Amino acid sequence: MKLQNEEIRLTWQSDKRKERQNLTLLFGGTILVFLFCMCFKFDAFRYESKFVPVDNFKSLLLPHLSDKGSIEYLGAVARLRVTLVSFISGGALALGGAIFQTAYRNPMASPNILGATSGVSLGNVLAVSMFSLSALQHIELRYILCYGITFICLIVVFLLGKLAGGKKSKNSSVLEMVMIGSIISQGLGTFTMYLMYNLEEEERLVYQQLTLGINMQSSFVSMALFFSVMAISIIPVVIMRYRLNSLGFESEEAQSLGLYTSATRTVAQFCGVLMVTASMIHCGQIGMISLVIPYAVRNIVGADFKKVCVFSFCLGGILMMLCRLVSTLIGVLGEAISVIPIVNIVLMPAFAIVLAKRNREVI
């Protein structure tokens, strides 16, 4: 039976309305949490305030009327940077996880299987080995080492994957890529361990600060690099968000639908590794967001990557901002703590709840 235009129009409008409502809720929630994290008054707990009270944010909105050298202005800028970096890092980790889970058709996949974590770890330990306690000051060289090793690792995995795929296969096999990635990660991990055990006690503390992301760098170079890398890796993914659904297709299925997936797959994997590497360099090695957030998002909004992409990014960002806030608050109380255990503590029960809910639905 031929459907009437009116009937289709009504269904279209109803679907679009639902989509808009969900997005409004998501973006509204994200903005609220962002503002909360920016304005949260730590001195409300009667501890000496190291942070900017809410009134001082006027200087950010009206910079031409404010003294750019004032403590209020500088404090507001620093806090804006930390909150933004936390948001984007959390979002990028979740988005990177979503990309790899779709590309490998596996909810356990993450960019780490292509060597992102081990590349950053080795870069950090090499920086500490080379510059000792002043590694925190040589940020440019640390970035070159971390990005460089991860990039080389990625290229090697791609090339070996292609070789292992044989002459007949144009694409690398997923299984072979995972195996090669794991082997290279293990190799880099062993080398990292060896270098780490040769560090002095104080050097090891510096290494821990770097890998746990306790001291977030907020210099101009750091910020410029961070935002550039994030823009390069996130924007293409957001633009291609609908097309990235095709990553989950089998090769023949994609061909019969008229799709060329190998280039899309390579670009998506490259972007995924890049965004996760940047997050780990600037915010510490947090793996759980990549795993749990996309999984939870699929259970909430469905599997369409168009939605998974946006929801994973915002929810990952919200989680990271809140965890960074808690970590800073604990820091104000006098105990320096990395954001990583806080993220893990929050995500473990959340993941259990999502799993339990899903099992109940299946039953």
Partner 1 sequence: MKLELRDVSCGYDKAKPVIKDINLTLKDGDVCCILGPNGVGKTTLFKSILNLIPPLSGQICIDGKSVSSLSRRNLSDQMAYVAQAHIPAFPYQVREIVMMGRMGKLHLAGQPTRRDYEVCEQALEDVGIRHLRDKVYTEISGGERQLLMIARALAQSPRILVMDEPTANLDYGNMVIVIECIRILAEKGLCIIFTSHTPDHAFMTKAKTALLFRNEPMVFGTCDEVVTNRNLQNAYKTDIQVLEIMTPDGETTKVIHPRFHR
Number of residues binding to partner 1, judged by CB under 8 A? 35
- Residue 245 touching partner 1 (CB under 8 A): yes
Q: How many residues does the chain have?
A: 363
Residues 257, 108, 359, 356, Cα dihedral to 10°: -140
Alpha-carbon separation of residue 109 from 195, 242, 336 (angstroms): 28, 20, 31
Which among 77-85, 126-134, 257-265, 325-333 is the span making contact with partner 1, rule CB under 8 A?
257-265
- Residue 264 touching partner 1 (CB under 8 A): yes
Binding residue for partner 1, selected from 82, 240, 268, 275, defined by CB under 8 A: 240
Task: Give the shortest CB-105-to-partner 1 separation in angstroms.
Answer: 3
CB 277 within 8 Å of CB 56? no
The Cα–Cα gap between 335 and 1 comes to: 69
Binding residue for partner 1, selected from 48, 252, 334, 349, defined by CB under 8 A: 252
Binding residue for partner 1, selected from 139, 259, 332, 350, defined by CB under 8 A: 259
Binding residue for partner 1, selected from 246, 277, 279, 327, defined by CB under 8 A: 246
- Residue 290 touching partner 1 (CB under 8 A): no
Per-residue contact track with partner 1, 101 to 130, x per CB under 8 A? Answer: xx--xxx-----------------------
Which among 46-54, 56-64, 77-85, 242-250 is the span making contact with partner 1, rule CB under 8 A?
242-250
Best CA proximity match to 246, nearest among 304, 300, 293: 304
Task: Give the shortest CB-3-to-partner 1 separation in angstroms.
Answer: 5
The Cα–Cα gap between 173 and 162 comes to: 8
Task: Give the shortest CB-239-to-partner 1 separation in angstroms.
Answer: 5
Which among 24-32, 99-107, 118-126, 272-280 is the span making contact with partner 1, rule CB under 8 A?
99-107
The sign one gets for the Cα dihedral 159, 164, 169, 172 is negative
Alpha-carbon separation of residue 274 from 30, 49, 227, 254, 342 (angstroms): 24, 36, 12, 26, 24
Which residues lie below 8 Å from residue 164, measured CB to CB, with a gap of 6+?
172, 173, 176, 180
The binding site for partner 1 (CB under 8 A) comprises 1-3, 5, 8, 11-12, 15, 101-102, 105-107, 239-240, 242-243, 245-246, 248-249, 252-253, 255-260, 264, 298, 302-304, 306
